[in-house]
Chains A and B, each alone.
Chain A
Amino acid sequence: MTTPLMTVEDLSISFKIEDRWCRAVNGISFDILPNETLCIVGESGCGKSITAMSLMKLLPDTAQLGGKITFDGQDILSMKEKELEGIRGSRIAMIFQEPMTSLNPVLTVGEQIAEPLVLHKGMTWSDARREARNLLDLVRIPDAEQRLGQYPHELSGGMRQRVMIAIGLACRPEILIADEPTTALDVTIQAQVLALLDDIRKEQGLSIVMITHDLGVVANVADRVAVMYAGDLVETAPVADLFTAPSHPYTQALLKTVPRADEAFELLPIEGQVPPIQLMPEGCRFAPRCLEAHDACEVAPELSPGPHAVRCWAREERV
């Protein structure tokens, strides 16, 4: 078994709401392996984005963090701000959902790609600019030389997301976190950007953590998938296993909400809603909406061991 690049153990993130600490992320654990694409899937508000942010400890001061995130033998969560600044953008990079607003409108594309190189790699601006040109080639932006002098508003959405990727890749990070990188793009551009990310992962040998709510994206690019529901990690599996043998009732229900082209079948929405964070049930957080819920579900189940892990009492019994 390969040694993981990053290990997340029992990560919990709480926010104070009306004088009470509410756990938005409820003790989740997973590994990031070298040169893989790990997709974290879940609906809005399930905690996937703040999980991604916490991998670089990028959360506001109001958040209370618990657990351990080990990267290169060090615990990210106990690092000082100065140490974190040395890792962010240089060894772990992140790209965001909105390419329209993630670039600084008053700085040129070239300046924005060159800046992390100057800061983290100590390059001169002229060297960094030359490297920026190579990076634009890497993310397949034509007329790289000319693009360097342009401002973000002169580029299309897809172009801007490519520029974001170039900035993220500038310092050759080991992990690239992509927070819904294609949500704001239309479908054809989405496919291009996903293919690009996958090619770059193979070429550069980096690991990608992709946050998404789109199971189509997951099927396209993931090696492994982690499914989150209401702050819990409910199932993690290699991508093929997840689609052929989904084990958690939530994953099963989720897959039934995706339209398919090959057979006629009825879309089944998941009944009910995610409970608000202040009113989370004590036991299994999915129990109120689960068709298979029974008495045991009043106590929260543990994540089962193994590569295909499930957090559900029903599965425990079956194994």
Chain B
Amino acid sequence: MTLADTNTPQRTRTASLLRLARKNKLSAFGLLMFTLIVLASIFAPFISPHDPLDQNILDRLQDRSAEYILGTDTFGRDTFTRILYGLRVSLMIGLTSTFLAMVLGCSLGIIAGYRGGWVDSLIMRVMDMLLAFPTLITGLFIVAVLGANFVNIVLAITVTILPKFARVARAPTIALKEREFVEAARALGYSDIRIMAVHIAPNILGEVVVLASLWAAYAIRIEAYLSFIGLGVAPPTPTLGTMIRDGFNHILDAPFVSIYPGFAVLLVVLSLNLVGDGLRDAIDPKLRD
């Protein structure tokens, strides 16, 4: 055993992360790309000289130029600026709904797995019902009924991906609750809620985080779908989906108005998928060298 191995777990963890990044260059690239995208959307006002809502009708539907890096849309708004601001909304919706789905879905899955019996049946059958509908239809239904605004869109996406987290959390919980440390925890007088939250949840966090990164990409895509069919955040707030839809009317004479925001969606989803794949390889011992 070398000295480095006996160091604090923090240090060894960083070291192993670095080793992993070196081994899995593609995922490291994905992580870098995602970080840059997030930073760019946060610092949008400093990066872009334009206002995302500023209409300049004389400059409408222009191609790339020094002034407008990625051209302008129907109302002469700068596409590059709108992509940066649109990323903010899309990322916020995607990440918030994934986070909510992760927390709620895992809670339900752990409760179902830990309790078993009728509680398990009840929770999992409801989850199966939600899964039975195609994701987009469920989302569409919720937004159509409740109205299209930020909160409802987050809600719709949360509900569509929540059952997937519940399933992923339930299976390992069933295995974990038979382990002796859960018995030991009961012998120490810990309540069931405490055992689930403090002792079981951290054990399944790894698998769940992997999925979260993959489902976040999916959530961002659903947001783009919903916006594209007109059920997204109301204009003039830019989101990637609404921008693609706005440009769709001019797809023949000015295709770039749709293509650039579409490309932005592609980059976000691709980067998140690369990160997710890397995390999965890192956690799955079967794929490890």
Contact = CB atoms under 8 A, between A and B. Distances in A.
- Is chain B a partner of chain A in the same complex? yes
Contacts of B202: 104, 106-107
Interface stretch (B45-53, B179-187, B273-281): B179-187
A247 interface: no
Given A98-B180, A102-B184, A120 B189 contact: yes
A108 B183 CA distance: 18
Given A98-B180, A105-B203, A58 B189 contact: no
B250 interface: no
Contacts of A164: 184
B248 interface: no
B252 interface: no
Contacts of A167: 184, 188
Interface stretch (A13-21, A79-87, A264-272, A303-311): A79-87
A283 B135 CA distance: 65
B189 A116 contact: yes
Question: Which of A86, A97, A107, A151 counts the most B-chain CB atoms under 10 A from its CB?
Answer: A107
A89 B184 CA distance: 9
Contacts of A102: 180-181, 183-184
B2 interface: no
A88 interface: yes
A89 B203 contact: no
Given A106-B203, A107-B202, A108-B9, A101 B179 contact: yes
B189 A89 contact: yes
Interface in A59-102: 84-90, 93-94, 96-98, 101-102
A85 B190 contact: yes
Contacts of B191: 85
Contact of A89 (B187, B198, B199): B187
Interface residues of B, number: 21
Chain A interface, >50% SS class:
loop
Given A106-B203, A107-B202, A96 B183 contact: yes
B14 interface: no
Contact of A103 (B181, B187, B198): B181
B8 interface: yes
Given A56-B187, A90-B189, A149-B8, A96 B203 contact: no
A150 interface: yes
A100 B117 CA distance: 29
A115 B198 contact: yes
Given A101-B181, A106-B203, A89 B188 contact: yes
Contacts, number: 71
Given A104-B203, A149-B8, A151-B9, A116 B188 contact: yes
A88 B180 contact: no
B61 to A, nearest CB: 55
Contacts of A103: 181, 184
A94 B203 contact: no
Task: Classify chain A's interface size.
Answer: 20 to 34
A101 B180 contact: yes
A93 B194 CA distance: 18
Interface in B203-259: 203, 205
A165 to B, nearest CB: 12
B24 to A, nearest CB: 23
A119 interface: yes
Contacts of B194: 119
Question: Which of B181, B187, B190, B194 counts the most A-chain CB atoms under 10 A from its CB?
Answer: B187
Question: Which of B184, B185, B198, B199 counts the most A-chain CB atoms under 10 A from its CB?
Answer: B184
Nearest to A85: B189
Interface string A263-304: 000000000000000000000000000000000000000000
Interface string B78-96: 0000000000000000000
A151 B198 CA distance: 15
Interface in A143-192: 146, 149-151, 154, 164, 167
Given A108-B9, A150-B9, A94 B180 contact: no
A88 B203 contact: no
Interface in B140-186: 179-181, 183-186
A146 B181 CA distance: 23
Given A106-B202, A106-B203, A119 B181 contact: no
Contacts of B9: 108, 149-151, 154
Contacts of A96: 180, 183-184, 187
A146 B190 CA distance: 26
B203 to A, nearest CB: 5
B187 A94 contact: yes
A86 to B, nearest CB: 7
B180 A89 contact: no
A73 to B, nearest CB: 19
Contacts of A104: 181, 185, 199, 202-203
Given A89-B190, A108-B9, 20 more contacts: A56-B187, A58-B186, A86-B189, A88-B187, A88-B189, A90-B189, A93-B187, A93-B188, A96-B187, A101-B181, A102-B181, A102-B183, A104-B199, A106-B203, A115-B188, A119-B194, A146-B6, A150-B9, A154-B9, A167-B184
24 contacts: A58-B186, A84-B189, A85-B190, A85-B191, A87-B189, A88-B186, A88-B188, A93-B187, A94-B187, A96-B180, A96-B183, A97-B180, A103-B181, A104-B181, A104-B202, A105-B181, A106-B203, A107-B202, A108-B9, A119-B189, A119-B194, A146-B6, A150-B9, A167-B184
- The 8 A-B pairs of least Cβ separation, nearest first, read A89-B188, A88-B189, A89-B189, A94-B187, A101-B180, A85-B189, A106-B202, A102-B180
